[in-house]
Amino acid sequence: MKIKAAIIGMGIGSKHLEAIENHKGSKVKIICEKNKKKLNILKKKFPDKIVTDNERIIYLDKEINLVSIASYDNYHFNQIINCLRFNKNIIVEKPMCLNLSQLKKIYNLLKNKKKIRIMSNLVLRVNSLFKSFKKKLNYKNIFYIEADYIWGRKKKLFEWRSKIKDYSLTLGAGIHMIDLVMWLTNLKPISVHAFANKKATQGTNFKKNSLIVMMFKFPKNILVKISANGVASYKHYHELKIYSKNNTLLNSVFGSYEYKNNKFIKNKSSYPDKKNRKKLIQNFLDTLLNRNVKPLISFKEQVDLMSVCFAVDKSIKLNKSLKIKYL
């Protein structure tokens, strides 16, 4: 089998293209971009590829067996449905979709498409620092975790994100830290009580919540606080503290350390480790080429993650603690 891919959206999609083109046995055939100015530039840059603003060309091309979706969040669901109807494997930027009914439709369609695979691009799973943290964890001893997604690029909120009706900072930012904690602990949260405000974006065109704080109860009596902070005067960062009985693991702008036996031990693993982000996509390509290769994120994990995110936003809306229901 050879992978013939198409990319929809050439913002972050350019990174998808790079990961696919640098993988043996994989090639991008079609690039789809709706922005007319970008389209002309892309045609000159990639004369050996089909460059178009018509995504239907992708679905109708029988050679295309992988579609990489890197469009705006509100397009993801329909593009996934079209890919499934035409039997295309899928890489999709998070979030997979924007509400629970969409998730159920994807879930039910994939149950009848046993050979089709989908992967959300949750890149913190291949970060060398967080992988080193995972190796050090003693799950029995963890009692509290703090994980903060600090946007640090506030101006981005006022662009296309401000125009999408169902845009959510949970789905657009917090999802990374929720996935990170679930992956690190190999556990799914039981319940959530989430809080939010719009204080820092009042009077702007961004009408959604710009700060979200989530309190989770996990199995084994672990408490977890996760925030999606879209407005901090701060650099873009994934801050993490994992407290256990014998040590503390932390990643902050001041460095990454393990605190043990009354001293800080510097962690030499790389962060933000952008060069390794392509490994998640390339692992997915490996699973398509060889069904015996284990995916770094399963479809069930992706569905569970989306279920948690939707519970967070429902908790904010209802202003109460909710038990998380999984599909």
Cα angle 55, 56, 59; round to 5: 100
Quick check: is 62 in a domain?
A: yes
pLDDT recorded at residue 138: 83
Cα–Cα dist 111/107, whole Å: 6
Q: What residues does 234 pair with on adjacent strands?
A: none
- 135 and 257 inside one domain: yes
Quick check: is 197 in a domain?
A: yes
- 106 and 209 inside one domain: no
- 142 and 260 inside one domain: yes
- 116 and 137 inside one domain: no
Range of the domain at 143: 124-274+306-323
Tell me the DSSP string of 99-162: SHHHHHHHHHHHHT-TT--EEE--GGGG-HHHHHHHHH--GGGEEEEEEEEE---GGGGGTGGG
- 199 and 112 inside one domain: no
CATH number at residue 183: 3.30.360.10
- 176 and 314 inside one domain: yes
pLDDT recorded at residue 140: 85
Beta strands 50-52 and 237-244 are unpaired
pLDDT recorded at residue 292: 94
Quick check: is 300 in a domain?
A: no
- 246 and 137 inside one domain: yes
Quick check: is 114 in a domain?
A: yes
Total domains, the chain = 2
pTM to 2 decimals? 0.96
- 82 and 50 inside one domain: yes
The domain boundary residue, chosen from 120, 151, 181:
120
Quick check: is 297 in a domain?
A: no
Q: In what order do the strands lie in the sheet with 3-8?
A: 50-52, 26-32, 3-8, 66-69, 89-92, 118-120
- 137 and 110 inside one domain: no
- 183 and 264 inside one domain: yes
The domain boundary residue, chosen from 120, 141, 159:
120
Quick check: is 59 in a domain?
A: yes
Quick check: is 280 in a domain?
A: no
pLDDT recorded at residue 1: 78
pLDDT per 10-residue tile (average), the chain, 327 residues: 95 97 96 94 97 98 98 97 98 97 97 94 97 91 97 94 94 98 97 97 96 97 98 97 96 97 96 95 97 95 98 98 97
Do 220 and 141 touch, CB atoms closer than 8 A? Answer: no
Q: Which two tokens stand for residue 159?
A: 């662009």
- 72 and 147 inside one domain: no
Residue burial 174-187, b: 16+ Cβ < 10 Å; e: rest: bbbbbbbbbbbbeb
Cα–Cα dist 90/116, whole Å: 8
CATH number at residue 43: 3.40.50.720
pLDDT recorded at residue 262: 96
Tell me the DSSP string of 61-96: -TT--EEEE-S-GGGHHHHHHHHHHTT-EEEEPSPS
For 174, phi and psi rounded to 5 degrees?
A: -55, -25
The domain boundary residue, chosen from 78, 97, 120:
120
Cα–Cα dist 274/323, whole Å: 35
Quick check: is 286 in a domain?
A: no
- 201 and 178 inside one domain: yes
CA distances from 145 to 140, 181, 214, 274 (A): 13, 8, 12, 24
